A and B are shown apart, each in its own frame.
Chain A
Amino acid sequence: MTDRALFVVRAGALTTVQDQGRPGHAHLGVPRSGALDAPAAALANRLVGNRPGAAVLETTLNGCAVRPRSTVTVAVAGAPCPVTVDGRAVAWGAPVRVPGGALLEVGAVLTGVRAYVAVAGGVAVEPVLGSRSTDLLSGLGPPPLADGTVLPLGNPEGLHARVDVAPQPAPPAELVLRVTPGPRDDWFTAQALRTFTSRTYRVSSASNRIGLRTEGPALDRARPGELPSEGMVLGAVQVPPDGRPVVFLADHPTTGGYPVIAVVRDQDLAAAAQVAPGTPVRFVEVRRR
């Protein structure tokens, strides 16, 4: 086997391979998937000289530890966390050289949820429909990392960014999501629409890559009955029978049968990747552009 590989010593709570996902296949029931905090994944790639579409590791809460078989350049972005090489502290948010055989440890997040680990050359698992992303809803792409997994790496492409510090947004203390109403806002009462855009929700611990679930005042329907299944976009705010809004994230199902009260602006979804359970969420109505 080539020495361009990572040996996974500690997989962490949930570490997956992610790139920019596999859009364009929703009509076959294939979720788009991809890094939840796309700007953080792109920054990590830029720091090690990868193209934005290279595959990175997306960790959840408690990081991961890997041992590269040959000397590699890595960068960690997204949620701030301690990073060490053979136990010695190294920079977060900057390119770091990790000698072959050394242990790179990405520690538990200090704030936020998901850290992104880019390695020069990118993670080179076999693509599925043009993407290396793990899709937790339908099981496409590589399975989540397990201790002992060996991940192949691609060849580095260019010069990494010459930076000391790359500014990154702090994980939000309060998540503000701009929404445009519809397409099924008429399935809800006027009071429900006011509640939705004026009250504060909280991030539920049941949130995952499929959806950001919320706890808060239930939204009442104006009409009974079932909605025939229809196509769902990234950022759709679906309201199941319990009345609590769910924001669809990257691994969301491509069709669904619960009414969508509003859609979150794409630019606001990266922050949704970094909110811990219990974080307040407000939905702010904005006009369609």
Chain B
Amino acid sequence: MRALPVGDGALLVEVASDEEAQALHAELLRRRAEGLLTVREIVPAARTVLLDGLDDPSRLAADLRAWEIPAVVPRAGHVVDIPVRYDGPDLADVAAHWGVAEEEVARIHSGTAFRVAFCGFAPGFGYLTGLPPRYDVPRRATPRTAVPAGSVALAGPYTGVYPRSSPGGWQLIGTTDAVLWDHTRVPAALLSPGTGVRFVPVTPAGPTGPADVPATPAGSA
């Protein structure tokens, strides 16, 4: 772990893997909730967590070295189900890249326990990890000028869902009606760092299984 100063009031803490970044993020949230840490922003990313709005970044940088950071244990029940139709225009390309049939892409993807590693790009856009490294895919050589809202997409080691229509270069494998961002809702973002996510296959005609439920955090409301 390495703590890099960022300006006068922030620290970028760099770790070796995305699992370590998620564990550090969880520990930072715990410490903030317990009043042990005062900070304006905690922004996890691929290999780092940014802490912005610190009174004394150098002291925290020194303290960090002594921290015991437990590995992340997914909390039972804290999983968002996202219904998805595996009908994306890049499904065949992804299947070819993985060396499997198109139906197999849906089976592998929906059988994976995902976790939101970090957010960015747009409000409510989560970078989901969980697929084994052999399923990494490259971005499209030419980005699309408009990716429809609700597109379920892959790039590198990540899965994501476009909260609104925007340009994008990810491989589109499916579509969801889940609302990723609604500023009138609390919370506005369906996905936030640390959230567990499961994609539940549905067909345009209707549900294929008992798990076809609206995308809501399990256990809430």
Contact = CB atoms under 8 A, between A and B. Distances in A.
A169 interface: no
A231 B5 contact: no
Contacts of A236: 6-7
Q: Which of A28, A235, A264 has the most CB of B within 10 A?
A: A28
B123 interface: yes
B49 interface: yes
Contact of A233 (B10, B45, B164): B10
Interface stretch (A144-152, A190-198, A253-261): A253-261
Contact of A23 (B6, B41, B118): B41
Interface string A23-37: 111111110000000
A145 B91 CA distance: 41
A138 interface: yes
B43 interface: yes
A27 B116 CA distance: 11
Nearest to A183: B4
Nearest to A135: B123
B7 A29 contact: no
Contacts of B12: 183, 230-231
A265 interface: yes
A231 B188 contact: no
Nearest to A235: B7
B198 interface: no
Interface in B19-59: 40-50, 52-53
Contacts of B125: 29
B118 A27 contact: yes
Contacts of A23: 40-41, 53
A283 B193 CA distance: 35
Contact of B48 (A25, A180, A230, A266): A230
B206 to A, nearest CB: 32
- Majority-rule SS of A interface residues: loop
B111 to A, nearest CB: 26
A123 to B, nearest CB: 18
A263 to B, nearest CB: 3
Interface residues of A, number: 36
Nearest to A232: B50
B2 to A, nearest CB: 10
Interface string B130-152: 00000000000000000000000
A255 B45 contact: yes
A261 to B, nearest CB: 12
A180 B8 contact: yes
B18 to A, nearest CB: 9
Interface in A226-254: 228-233, 235-236, 253-254
A253 B119 CA distance: 11
A182 interface: yes
B43 A27 contact: yes
Contacts of B40: 23-24
Interface of A: 23-30, 128-129, 138-140, 180, 182-184, 228-233, 235-236, 253-256, 260, 263-266, 288-289
27 contacts: A23-B40, A23-B53, A26-B43, A27-B41, A27-B119, A29-B120, A139-B164, A140-B123, A183-B4, A228-B47, A230-B45, A231-B44, A231-B45, A233-B6, A233-B52, A235-B7, A253-B120, A253-B121, A254-B43, A255-B118, A255-B119, A255-B121, A256-B120, A263-B7, A263-B10, A265-B8, A289-B8
